[in-house]
């Protein structure tokens, strides 16, 4: 797994340790699947803030067989899950493009990401590109630059995360955090 850019990692935190030392928090692993580049972003809630713990990408080579590429993606995601013990894995849903071959390749990468999460016993949430844009920018048809700028702002980063796949994965993770916060608020008000 190649790490392109990221923050210092917080290794092997157990959920019990996080709850005792920091109060309630949620760690989400966001994934933007692709056969050549699978972006990942790990975020943590800290009170009303969301902060980036790590982000980067898992790269594979065209020279590798498809099976080897998918195994590399699977193993990379399993490693991230073991390192960060996320409460949820958030995955971008397949965007149907005009190129059926590209759609199939992304679908295969999504499949191994979902498998890795299932094997590790992680809850999975899936979000469409429009849901991600809506959660991050407030506008479901925002362009890529707007989403990246908001990811930088929301996570208080010095610059826009690179590569684009990592920024997209962080956006997916932020969407999951916002969605979980909304669900918790609604369930709290319903129980009153």
What is the reported pLDDT for 154? 96
Q: Is 32 a catalytic residue?
A: yes
Nearest to 28 by CA among 84, 73, 75: 84
Exactly one of 22, 92, 143, 164 is catalytic; name it. Answer: 92
List the structure tokens of 180.
Answer: 């979980």
Q: Is 93 a catalytic residue?
A: no
Exactly one of 32, 54, 87, 168 is catalytic; name it. Answer: 32
Instruction: List, for residues 144-170, the tens digit of each pLDDT value.
Output: 999 999 999 999 999 999 999 999 999
The CA distance from 94 to 156, in Å, is 28
List the structure tokens of 123.
Answer: 């809850």
What is the reported pLDDT for 96? 65
pTM of the complete model: 0.84
Instruction: List, for residues 13-45, the tens digit of each pLDDT value.
Output: 334 334 433 456 899 999 999 999 999 999 999
- CATH dotted code for 15-190: 3.30.420.10
Alpha helices in the chain (DSSP H): 15-22, 66-84, 100-119, 129-137, 144-154, 164-190
Q: Is 92 a catalytic residue?
A: yes
Secondary structure element (H or E) that encloses residue 52, with its range: strand 49-59
Report domain extents, the chain. 15-190
The CA distance from 84 to 29, in Å, is 8
What is the reported pLDDT for 22? 47
């Amino acid at each position: 797994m190649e790490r392109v850019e990221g923050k210092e990692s917080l290794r092997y935190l157990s959920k019990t340790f996080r709850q005792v030392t920091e109060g309630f928090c949620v760690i989400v692993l966001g994934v933007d699947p692709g056969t050549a580049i699978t972006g990942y972003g790990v975020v943590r809630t800290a009170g009303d803030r969301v902060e980036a713990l790590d982000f980067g990408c898992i790269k594979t080579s065209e020279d590798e067989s498809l099976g080897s590429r998918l195994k590399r993606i699977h193993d990379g995601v399993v490693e991230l899950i073991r390192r960060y013990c996320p409460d949820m894995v958030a995955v971008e849903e397949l965007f149907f493009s005009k190129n059926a071959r590209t759609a199939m390749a992304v679908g295969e990468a999504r499949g191994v990401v979902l498998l890795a999460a299932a094997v590790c016993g992680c809850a999975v949430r899936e979000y469409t590109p429009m849901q991600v844009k809506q959660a991050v920018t407030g506008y479901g048809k925002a362009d890529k630059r707007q989403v990246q700028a908001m990811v930088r702002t929301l996570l208080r980063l010095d610059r826009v995360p690179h590569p684009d796949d990592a920024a997209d994965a962080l956006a997916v993770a932020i969407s999951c955090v916002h969605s979980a916060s909304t669900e918790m608020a609604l369930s709290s008000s319903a129980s009153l």
